[in-house]
Structure 1
Amino acid sequence: MHRDTQLANWTAVCRLDEIVPDTGVCALLNGRQVAVFRIGDIEPRVFAIDNYDPNSQAAVLSRGLVGSIGERIVVASPIYKQHFDLASGECLEAPAQSVASYPARIDGAVVWVAA
């Protein structure tokens, strides 16, 4: 469920150096908790998905473990360990429990997310 970038409002979330490589942080965008992840150190990329894990019914995805399954970059929920694709929000084990994903970018040293 990637949000349309042309209709979205971009919000500055934090400085890039405030996110440890290969981890996530939680941001509040328009009253919604969003998990923002920094992948890599030398050429970092950022991703954003809902922070709410529908499997455990808790807002915990930003604290999950980042890794990969095949070519997909994922976060494992810290509670039941389901994997969520950071690009699409798809839950690999239970696609019906997928979450929304949001466009994210780095501009200068700032992380921006569209909501």
Structure 2
Amino acid sequence: METSNTTWTNICAANDLTPNAGICALYNEQQVAIFLCKQTNNVYAVANYDPFGGANVLSRGLIGSTQDIIYVASPLYKQRFNLSTGECLDSPDHKLKTYNVRIENDQVQLKEAS
């Protein structure tokens, strides 16, 4: 449920997304990795910063799935992050920031997660 102070921000055109690949966008001065998953036909958005490699590279990671969990594997050290929750599947003490994301009027839109 949206409240009156909830604002969606246009990030890019929906056709800028490539299925099963990530793009990086700047949102509120933070790098965000955005993915369109072909398997689920859902769009996901997580922080682009890899806490293990110390670099903004997750948008270059590979999408995969295990036990019905859609994840991105870091291109550096291959840790897998759940795209819905941000949790690291390989090291539960690490978690990425996630963002609410949607496609509205052919635009990818983000807002802060609750």
TM-score (norm 1): 0.88
1:94-105 correspondence to structure 2 within 5 Å: 94-105=91-102
Q: CA deviation at 1:64?
A: 0.1
User: What residue ranges of structure 1 are gaps of 5+ in the alignment?
Assistant: none
> Match for 1:75 among 72, 75, 81?
72
Secondary structure (helix, strand or coil) at the match of 1:62 reads helix
Contact 1:45 1:106 in 2 (8 A): no
2: CA distance between counterparts of 1:8 and 1:56?
33
What is the aligned residue count? 111
Residue 34 (structure 1) aligns with: 32
- Listed as ranges, the gaps of 5+ residues in structure 2 are none
Please state how far the C-alpha of 1:44 moved relative to its aligned partner.
2.9
Whose relative contact order is higher, 1 or 2, with alpha carbons under 8 Å and at least 6 apart? 1
* 1:60 alignment counterpart: 57
Percent of pairs identical after alignment? 43
Tell me, what secondary structure is at the counterpart of 2:15? helix
